[in-house]
Chain A
Amino acid sequence: ELKVEQNPLFLSMQEGKNYTIYCNYSTTSDRLYWYRQDPGKSLESLFVLLSNGAVKQEGRLMASLDTKARLSTLHITAAVHDLSATYFCAVRAGTYKYIFGTGTRLKVLA
């Protein structure tokens, strides 16, 4: 069955720094999603990536997809405290079914 791995699991970074979260998946899939979850809250959709080479950007976050490498990245530029949250990637694993990554808990320190 499709497996989705994220790394790192935990990330503590200083404000103003850049970092990248990686999402690897084990079998072919045609789309990938990124979500954000704040403590005690639900998931908020960030990006939908539909094709090889797709790149989406929103504010300080940029997501990309390489379907050949089965890899997506979520790049954080000049982190700010408000970006502290847990980030999940999710991959379509067959009809009407999605597999989520383990999540990356990001803490941005002032």
Chain B
Amino acid sequence: KAGVTQTPRYLIKTRGQQVTLSCSPISGHRSVSWYQQTPGQGLQFLFEYFSETQRNKGNFPGRFSGRQFSNSRSEMNVSTLELGDSALYLCASSLTGDPSRPLRNEQFFGPGTRLTVL
């Protein structure tokens, strides 16, 4: 069974540009979460999607947005990039994300997209 895939794996952008990252969950998984990982702030939750609906979001500015398609694939977009947006962006998928069914809720992480903003 293929794991979570993320594209691209590496990306270099300049300040002010925008970027779109893609995540394909494990087949059958319908929940996709996004995280930002930096040396200073650690792993921070961005948002979670299920059936094309955002169900929760973290404390990030509106420049960070996402969406999910009917096939459960997800994209996140960052507009007007800042130097501080340089990070490893991880997505994680789970079967349902249903908190009442924790074992079906276990998250599996993709390899990440390393974004560098110059």
Contact = CB atoms under 8 A, between A and B. Distances in A.
Contacts of B44: 100
Q: Please classify the interface of chain B as helix (H, G, I), strand (E, B), loop, or mixed, using the class held by over half of its residues.
A: strand
B40 to A, nearest CB: 11
Interface string B96-107: 010100110011
Interface of A: 30-31, 33, 35, 41-45, 48, 50, 88, 90, 92-103
B31 interface: yes
Interface of B: 31, 33, 35, 42-45, 48, 50, 55-56, 58, 90, 92, 97, 99, 102-103, 106-112
Contact of A48 (B48, B97, B102, B111): B102
A94 B112 CA distance: 24
Q: Which 4 A-B pairs have the closest CB atoms?
A: A100-B43, A43-B109, A96-B56, A96-B48
